[in-house]
Amino acid sequence: MAYVICEPCIGVKDAACVDVCPVDCIYEAEDQYVIHPDECIDCGACEPVCPVQAIFFKDDVPEEWHDFIEKNRRLASEITGR
């Protein structure tokens, strides 16, 4: 897993990240977008376009949002079946 979408996305769900992702690894969940960790190619295109700064490289996820690392993995797997 390279990039993780965290708490600031909840309720905002601006699709700018989806639009720039070259491999379509960002999926819409009920309350936020999530990045499928096995599909992400670590390009980083999504991070600078996020208007609420919700996207972080996995190693840079703030401590208070570490649970979003697993949340992205779980939700993306549920959505895609992979």
Question: Which CATH number belongs to the domain containing residue 30 in this structure?
Answer: 3.30.70.20
Give the strand pairing for 55-57 and 26-28.
unpaired
Domain count, the chain: 1
Segments forming the whole domain that contains residue 63:
3-80
Which residue ranges in the chain fall short of pLDDT 70? 1
Please write the tens of the pLDDT for every residue from 49-64.
Answer: 999 999 999 999 999 9
Name every residue whose Cβ is closer than 8 Å to that of residue 27 and which is 6 or more positions away in sequence: 33, 34, 35, 36, 75, 76, 79, 80
Residue for token pair 């960790």: 37
Is 0.85 surpassed by the pTM of this model? yes
